[in-house]
Structure 1
Amino acid sequence: MKKESNLLTFYEDLKGKTIIVNGGTKGIGLEIVREFLKNESRVVLTGRTKLDDFKQIGELTQEYGIDNVTYYVVDSSRSIEIEKFIENIASNIGEVHVLVNNAAINHYSDFLEVENELLAKIINTNLVGYFSFIRGVVPLMPQTNKNSIINISSTLAERVLKGRAIYASTKAAINSITRSAAIEFANRNIRVNSLCVGTVLTDMVRKTLNQSGNPEAEKIRLISRIPLGRFGTPREIANVVKFLASENSSFITGESVFVDGGFNAGFTD
């Protein structure tokens, strides 16, 4: 396979490795999938999108080969679907070397107006789903190999914003789970890190901006708090994920890495 000319870094140790990307059908997740495929990894991605509606899967299989990319419909808020997915992977693929937990629901709402059904859906997707994927994939990771788990978290785990109480809480919990898992699985040659992502203009973020009531004003307000003065791009996030998956980060585990244009460092005024 020809290496992509626009690939920033090619990690030889990721070539041929099996990567699972939970929530890989759009935005940051889809860009993560593309970066691993460019690196000649074998990628298994999941999402809630029905196969007939996931148009990009045809493009991916045509460009990178049907043997290198596989899609499973999995609702990350439903543990039973995750368990069935893990059973399929164990039977049809076997070993897994990298897990990227990315599926998430972001919602803008006043604290007192959140209904229990939505509360449960967000917690089950953003928190319980991550836990279930880790619990299922770890036994499939060979202890003779250097493996990696990357949990996509958020800067809101540390710096909360109005209207994001549930989302921020789940991401703070993910950072805690990351540290715990890093300690527990170190003796299995598994590194575990979280990536605290700043604002990236994806469809999910656009939806959240619309929920604010004044999307343009909210966009300006958010950018004003980012020292670099702009939103991030999905590819900027994907490249850090790929670094954390590779052996170039072999002594990094239990960390929450901020990729946020300086948002967590502080405001410019």
Structure 2
Amino acid sequence: MKTVVVTGSTSGIGLAIAEAFAEKANNLVLNGFGEGSEINAIVERLRSISKADVFHHPADMTKPKEISDLIDTAVERFGGVDVVVNNAGIQHVERIEDFPIEKWDQIIAINLSSAFHTMRAVIPSMKERKNGRIINIASAHGLVASPFKCAYVAAKHGILGLTKTAALELAEMGITVNAICPGYVLTPLVEKQIRDTAKARGMSEEHVQKEVILKAQPTREFVQASEVAALAIYLAGNEACQVTGTHISIDGGWTAA
């Protein structure tokens, strides 16, 4: 049985990843915003699936002290953390000259800096055990850019650099560090992005979905959250012990060109 921490796991890709680890009978530490009743329902459902311990930690991923407490609580409760999945993320779509400064700061904090803070907190205990898996959820936007997404693109490019650096530092410690780069997954984040892009470009939401969002993916299909979760399960397993310092794209062919 492993202990797995997944940030941003009360909806979307993070929740799908948490569900996949629950199916493998792992202890889970969830994190993310939401109504208390909804979060309690998620915890109880995953606990029934995993037959292990599941709890939610309400750390605000813009606050380093709360992130440290998230990891410290997991270590104290379970004796260590085997897998960390840095998934927490937000988005805002706007031209650079009109991009709100507070939104830039918030996106960099949640999409990039939070991964650094979780890694900084968990690496010492992983080193003690000479074992660990760190999986950073990046994006196709960690490899290519799109207009109106300056903060998101910058943060996801940063995630790939952080992943490579950590992998090199930990290569002889039994700890792997990798990034997953999904294309568009129809999550609440992407649904909001469709609405925001439609507003920014003066288009209908249907037109944005078909001619802007899915146009980027040659398969013309959304990636499924469960497919990203399956990749995370692989990277967390023994079969991936020599996979480190890299990214794996799952983007319908978006970055093939």
> Normalising by the residue count of structure 1, what TM-score does the alignment of the two structures yield?
0.89
Aligned 8 A contact 2:25 2:49 in 1: no
- Across the aligned residues of Structure 1 and Structure 2, the Cα RMSD in angstroms comes to 1.4
- Once structures 1 and 2 are overlaid, which stretch shifts more, 111-120 or 232-241? 111-120
Taking the aligned partners of 1:81 and 1:52, their CA distance within structure 2 comes to 22
| The structure with more helix, counted as a fraction of residues | 2
Taking the aligned partners of 1:47 and 1:259, their CA distance within structure 2 comes to 24
Q: CA deviation at 1:149?
A: 0.5
Q: Which of 245, 254, 257 does residue 236 from structure 2 map onto?
A: 245
Q: CA deviation at 1:19?
A: 0.9
SS of the equivalent of 1:44 reads strand
Aligned letter for 1:27?
G
Q: CA deviation at 1:50?
A: 4.7
Q: CA deviation at 1:86?
A: 2.3
Instruction: Please say if 1:42 is aligned against 2:32.
Output: no
Pairs within 5 Å for 1:21-40: 21-40=6-25
Pairs within 5 Å for 1:172-183: 172-183=157-168
SS of the equivalent of 2:152 reads helix
Q: CA deviation at 1:26?
A: 0.5
- Paired residue for 1:153? 138
SS of the equivalent of 1:188 reads coil
- Paired residue for 2:224? 233
- Paired residue for 1:263? 254
- Once structures 1 and 2 are overlaid, which stretch shifts more, 104-113 or 43-52? 43-52
Taking the aligned partners of 1:87 and 1:60, their CA distance within structure 2 comes to 22
Instruction: Please say if 1:215 is aligned against 2:171.
Output: no
Q: CA deviation at 1:146?
A: 3.6
Taking the aligned partners of 2:70 and 2:186, their CA distance within structure 1 comes to 30
Ranges in structure 1 where 5+ consecutive residues have no aligned partner: 1-15
Taking the aligned partners of 2:141 and 2:49, their CA distance within structure 1 comes to 36
Q: How many residues of Structure 1 are paired with residues of Structure 2 in the alignment?
A: 250
Q: Which of 56, 65, 83 does residue 80 from structure 1 map onto?
A: 65
SS of the equivalent of 1:251 reads coil
SS of the equivalent of 1:118 reads helix
Q: Residue 166 and residue 141 in structure 1: after superposition, are their counterparts in 2 closer, same or farther (change >3 A)? A: same
Ranges in structure 2 where 5+ consecutive residues have no aligned partner: none
Taking the aligned partners of 1:136 and 1:44, their CA distance within structure 2 comes to 15
Q: Which of 30, 49, 56 does residue 63 from structure 1 map onto?
A: 49
The 4+ residue runs of structure 1 with deviation greater than 4 A are 142-145
> Normalising by the residue count of structure 2, what TM-score does the alignment of the two structures yield?
0.93
Identity %: 30
After superposition, the C-alpha distances for 1:158-184 in whole angstroms (9 at most, x for unaligned) are: 211111111000000000000000001
- Once structures 1 and 2 are overlaid, which stretch shifts more, 173-182 or 37-46? 37-46
Q: Residue 38 and residue 53 in structure 1: after superposition, are their counterparts in 2 closer, same or farther (change >3 A)? A: closer
Q: Which of 111, 117, 124 does residue 102 from structure 2 map onto?
A: 117
